[in-house]
């Protein structure tokens, strides 16, 4: 655990990436697995995660990201896209996945599936979209922590225009919405931000026991 805290103190939101340094495929696989294993309500994972490697696409996305250099300079750009609506198909496919993974007859899981449908599908579409977008933050948390273990920098970003991302990446027609962006790679030695002390509330200010 002491190593975990040390890594949390090491990480920061990188402002300038080394554009010449790329993440290995081995480390990328670890980060993808960390995202895949992230906690999710019901285990449903109502989102998709896009790794944007195409330089021309990233150049198109930069203006929609307030011109931030990380979009094009980082080793990889990741877009977390939530499903804007959850329907019965999403839940049925998840139930089938449980059945196959755990060797359980799908009919034995019908009650769980019906319960999820009663709680999720009954929600107004805008509320569903807010809920699915929140799920992407859980996945982002696993990415950040796993990357810190590998000494890979992550900059989570909300400073972008989702509608333009949706248009450029063709997300809307897939029932998806760009909810979060993260750039990953290695900090540039010229990024002065890495040398600044981390600023957080004190334990006494942040926590209260009731």
Mean pLDDT, the chain, integer? 97
Q: How confident is the model at residue 2 (pLDDT cuts 50, 70, 90)?
A: confident
pLDDT in tens, 107-141: 999 999 999 999 999 999 999 999 999 999 999 99
Can you give the pLDDT at residue 1? 62
Residue linked to tokens 């993808």: 32
User: Exposed e or buried b for every residue in 123-147, given b needs 16+ CB within 10 A?
Assistant: eeeeebbebbbebbeebbebbbbbb
Q: Report d(CA 147, CA 26) in Å as an integer.
A: 12
Q: Report d(CA 83, CA 51) in Å as an integer.
A: 17
pTM: 0.95
Decide if pLDDT at 153 tops 80. yes
pLDDT in tens, 184-207: 999 999 999 999 999 999 999 999
CA atoms within 13 A on the CB side of 198: 13
User: Which domains, from first to last, does the chain contain?
Assistant: 22-86+121-188 (3.40.109.10)
């Amino acid at each position: 655990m002491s190593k975990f805290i040390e890594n949390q103190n090491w990480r920061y939101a990188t402002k300038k990436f080394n554009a010449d340094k790329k993440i290995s495929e081995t480390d990328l696989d670890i980060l993808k697995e960390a995202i895949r294993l992230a906690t999710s309500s019901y285990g449903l994972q109502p989102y998709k995660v896009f790794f944007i490697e195409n330089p021309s696409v990233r150049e198109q996305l930069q203006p929609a990201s307030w011109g931030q250099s990380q979009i094009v300079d980082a080793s990889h750009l990741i877009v977390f896209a939530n499903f804007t609506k959850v329907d019965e198909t999403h839940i049925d496919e998840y139930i089938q996945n449980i059945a196959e993974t755990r060797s359980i007859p799908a009919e034995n899981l019908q009650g769980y599936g019906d319960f999820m449908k009663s709680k999720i599908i009954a929600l107004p579409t805008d509320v569903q979209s807010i809920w699915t977008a929140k799920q992407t933050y859980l996945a982002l948390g696993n990415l950040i922590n796993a990357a810190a273990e590998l000494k890979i920098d992550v900059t989570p970003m909300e400073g972008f225009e989702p509608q333009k991302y949706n248009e450029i990446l063709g997300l809307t027609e897939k029932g998806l919405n760009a909810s979060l962006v993260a750039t990953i790679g290695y900090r540039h030695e010229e990024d002065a931000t890495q040398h600044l002390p981390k600023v957080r509330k004190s334990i006494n200010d942040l926590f209260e026991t009731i």
